[in-house]
Amino acid sequence: MAQPTPHTISSDQTVSVNTEVTVDQVITEVREFPPVDDGVSVYYVYVRNNGELVGVVSMRELLNAKGSDPVSEIMTTDLVTVTTPDSLQHAVHQFIENGFAILPVVDESGQFSGVVRANNIIDTLDEQTTKQGTGCERSPKTPERGS
């Protein structure tokens, strides 16, 4: 069985926009973003140019910007990403090194394909560990002392 990668456990349920749109247009996109069953919220908007990830904007940055500002003027271009062939271990390193809970996933040419969340990687690694039979088992919640 193939090893999972950030790409195989990533989600394409994100808000991504082109560089030409204004802050007001981005906020409209966020408002129209359908609720996701697993309670995922929109914290970042990913900015593309011809499909290539070129920037990211936090919700805080959007809310503090003028509505008529082009998103390209407020986006962060110093991106931390994982690529589709990267290992889960590399993604974990990126999460720890940079302190993010969500990372964008791009292919080798920089095309945006979605995001991977730290909790999804933790869940996947936990499942792998359990399947490999490491001898570690989850135990039911231990009662408090004196109960």
pLDDT of residue 136: 53
pLDDT of residue 61: 97
Residue 136 located in a structural domain? no
pLDDT by residue (tens digit) across 64-104?
A: 999 999 999 999 999 999 999 999 999 999 999 999 999 99
Residue 3 located in a structural domain? no
Structural domain boundaries enclosing 76: 15-131
Residue 9 located in a structural domain? no
**Number of residues that make up the chain:** 147
* Residue 42 neighbours by CB distance under 10 Å: 15
Q: What domain count does the chain have?
A: 1
Residue 112 located in a structural domain? yes
Q: Give the mean model confidence (pLDDT) for residues 121-137.
A: 74
Residue 124 located in a structural domain? yes
pLDDT by residue (tens digit) across 10-63?
A: 999 899 999 999 999 999 999 998 876 666 678 899 999 999 999 999 999 999
Residue 140: which pLDDT band, with cuts at 50, 70 and 90?
A: low
96: domain CATH number is: 3.10.580.10
Residue 8 located in a structural domain? no
Two structure tokens written together for 140? 């039911």
Residue 5 located in a structural domain? no
Pairing between strand 82-83 and 15-18?
unpaired
Sequence-distant (≥ 6) Cβ neighbours of residue 70 within 8 angstroms: 19, 20, 21, 22, 23
pLDDT of residue 27: 96
pLDDT by residue (tens digit) across 97-118?
A: 999 999 999 999 999 999 999 9
